[in-house]
Amino acid sequence: MPTNPPDQFPTFSPALPARPWRVGLIGFGCVGQGLYDILHQRPEAGFVISRIVVKNPTKARPLPAERFEFDADLLLADDSLDVLVEVIDDADTAFRLVSEALRRGRRVVTANKAMLARHLPALVQLQRETGGTLLYEAAVCGSIPVIRTLDAYFGTEPLRRLTGILNGSSNYVLTRMGEQGSDYAPALAEAQQLGFAETDPSLDMGAFDPRSKAVLLAAHAYGAFLEPEQILNLGIEGIGAVDIAFAASQGQKIKVVAGLQRLPDGRVTVLVTPQLVGPESPLYTVDHEFNGVVIEADFAGEQFLRGRGAGGHPTGSAVLADLAALRQGFAYQYHKAAEAPEYAADLEVEIYLRTNEPRIIDLLDFSEISEEADEDGYVVGYVALQHLIRHRDTLRQYGAFIVRTGRLRPVGEAVEVLAVAEIGGAISPAHLWNPGSRQCGEFSDFR
């Protein structure tokens, strides 16, 4: 017997506070103003910005001068504030303020990935000791809800792999180079002119910014708390139109990809470098200033999130989501930290290297070269990850450009020589890790 639908569907009504939550906002730049504007447009969200702290007393502001104050410590001590939002551009001061707030048992939201990547274990420990709560969805991929997805939704499900385009500035430059066939400098100048890249582009173009984000992803995806320096980061400062053309000739694009991967032996590795990405990957269509993350879970399979990784409103939206989560009593659980995997760097990575400095090739000590084009100055082959980590500053200094093909193998593994046509995925991954093992593909096809 079919039952009649109820007159009224039951509604989930979490306990909302009788009054709006009072927010102390530290920083009123791009993100702070984005949050302010969102809350102004959505008063029903239930948050009011009660106090705002900035640094420069003489700067022109879009709000009356009496709205601003200049001593963030006064906000930390103000118990009438329900939550503090730290969105300043100074990582050291941010750490001092956030850790002091947590020491006082306060609720805090931050967007500061550089500060978090450096101090996450200490901040997690402080929360455990004091009962304070820190959320930071905006710190990784702006508007994309990836941290809470990993922590809450996938908190108990093992993940095979997580790959992402985590930096919109470098992605914009790469996209424009691909569209125009142009070189790096004009594409960067355009990105800077349009506000998609900073005046000092080194953190974005050198892949330092996505490396910080990868540190945070590793903590939530795998329970691995890493130092930023443990992770290989290679940037795009040395890229040229010839490299984009090389990728296109293979039917691929070059993207800066953060790759976090569980290896067949249970260890985890993380790499943040340019990588060849083919049309079979959801990341292939993540262009311009957009970010994207592919999560591959053992049971759920593949999931793909794409969205804006920066900007006042997108980032402010993530901060608002954190405020709402705090009001519901949410805190990150870091479930996987209880069984944190070992970090693996004893691997060989297949790369395309272009350099006009022959000593760079000697320095990297390729264990296998599958292709060498002297006239174009490039080499394709396997090098030890440790060599890339050790020499990354020299590579940058000499303008060498490196792209990963996506393949990894254990150090010293004998493999078949790869043909040119196989760059991009035609070779059976089973040849690249522990031949005969069913887990091979999961490891070597790192894209």
Q: Which residues are catalytic?
A: 213
| CB contact at 8 A, 406 and 250 | no
- State yes or no: residue 230 binds ligand NAP (CB under 6 A): no
| CB contact at 8 A, 197 and 289 | no
- State yes or no: residue 28 binds ligand NAP (CB under 6 A): yes
The candidate with the shortest Cα–Cα distance to 132, out of 83, 94, 87, is 83
Stretch that binds ligand NAP, among 274-282, 297-305, 307-315, 359-367 (CB under 6 A): 307-315
Contact with ligand NAP (CB under 6 A): which of 30, 244, 271, 379?
Answer: 30
Site string for ligand NAP, 97-126 (x = CB under 6 A): --------------xxx-------------
291/302 Cα distance (integer angstroms) = 17
Smallest gap, in angstroms, from Cβ of residue 135 to ligand NAP? Answer: 13
- State yes or no: residue 199 binds ligand NAP (CB under 6 A): no
Contact with ligand NAP (CB under 6 A): which of 233, 275, 281, 315?
Answer: 315
Q: How many residues bind to ligand NAP according to rule CB under 6 A?
A: 27
- State yes or no: residue 85 binds ligand NAP (CB under 6 A): no
Type of residue found at 232: L
Smallest gap, in angstroms, from Cβ of residue 146 to ligand NAP? Answer: 13
Contact with ligand NAP (CB under 6 A): which of 89, 100, 183, 371?
Answer: 89
269/389 Cα distance (integer angstroms) = 13
Contact with ligand NAP (CB under 6 A): which of 25, 75, 88, 323?
Answer: 88
User: Closest CB to ligand NAP among 59 and 438?
Assistant: 59
User: Closest CB to ligand NAP among 163 and 167?
Assistant: 167
User: Closest CB to ligand NAP among 53 and 224?
Assistant: 53
Residues 6 or more apart from 112 whose CB is under 8 A from it? 86, 87, 88, 91, 94, 98, 136, 139
Contact with ligand NAP (CB under 6 A): which of 37, 78, 90, 100?
Answer: 90
Binding residues among 125-164 for ligand NAP as defined by CB under 6 A: 138-139, 142
User: Closest CB to ligand NAP among 112 and 281?
Assistant: 112
User: Closest CB to ligand NAP among 137 and 151?
Assistant: 137
Apex 404 CA angle, 375 and 201, nearest 5? 90
- State yes or no: residue 13 binds ligand NAP (CB under 6 A): no
Contact with ligand NAP (CB under 6 A): which of 38, 45, 46, 55?
Answer: 55
310/290 Cα distance (integer angstroms) = 8
The candidate with the shortest Cα–Cα distance to 403, out of 380, 372, 371, 430, is 380
Extract the tokens encoding 94: 């941010």
- State yes or no: residue 259 binds ligand NAP (CB under 6 A): no
- State yes or no: residue 310 binds ligand NAP (CB under 6 A): yes
The total of other beta-carbon atoms located within 10 Å of residue 264's CB is 16
197/184 Cα distance (integer angstroms) = 13
Smallest gap, in angstroms, from Cβ of residue 61 to ligand NAP? Answer: 8
Query: Taking CB positions, which residue lies at the least distance from ligand NAP?
Result: 29
- State yes or no: residue 62 binds ligand NAP (CB under 6 A): no
Residues 6 or more apart from 4 whose CB is under 8 A from it? none
- State yes or no: residue 58 binds ligand NAP (CB under 6 A): no
401/424 Cα distance (integer angstroms) = 18
Stretch that binds ligand NAP, among 53-61, 145-153, 400-408, 432-440 (CB under 6 A): 53-61
- State yes or no: residue 201 binds ligand NAP (CB under 6 A): no
- State yes or no: residue 344 binds ligand NAP (CB under 6 A): no
445/447 Cα distance (integer angstroms) = 6
143/297 Cα distance (integer angstroms) = 22
DSSP secondary structure code for residue 196 in this structure: S
Smallest gap, in angstroms, from Cβ of residue 430 to ligand NAP? Answer: 40
Half-sphere exposure of 36 (CA within 13 A, CB side): 22
Extract the tokens encoding 405: 């093909």
| CB contact at 8 A, 234 and 273 | yes
Contact with ligand NAP (CB under 6 A): which of 24, 25, 27, 136?
Answer: 27
108/24 Cα distance (integer angstroms) = 9
The candidate with the shortest Cα–Cα distance to 315, out of 110, 169, 77, 128, is 110
Residues forming contacts to ligand NAP in the complex (CB under 6 A) are 26-32, 53-56, 59, 72, 87-90, 93, 111-113, 138-139, 142, 310-311, 315
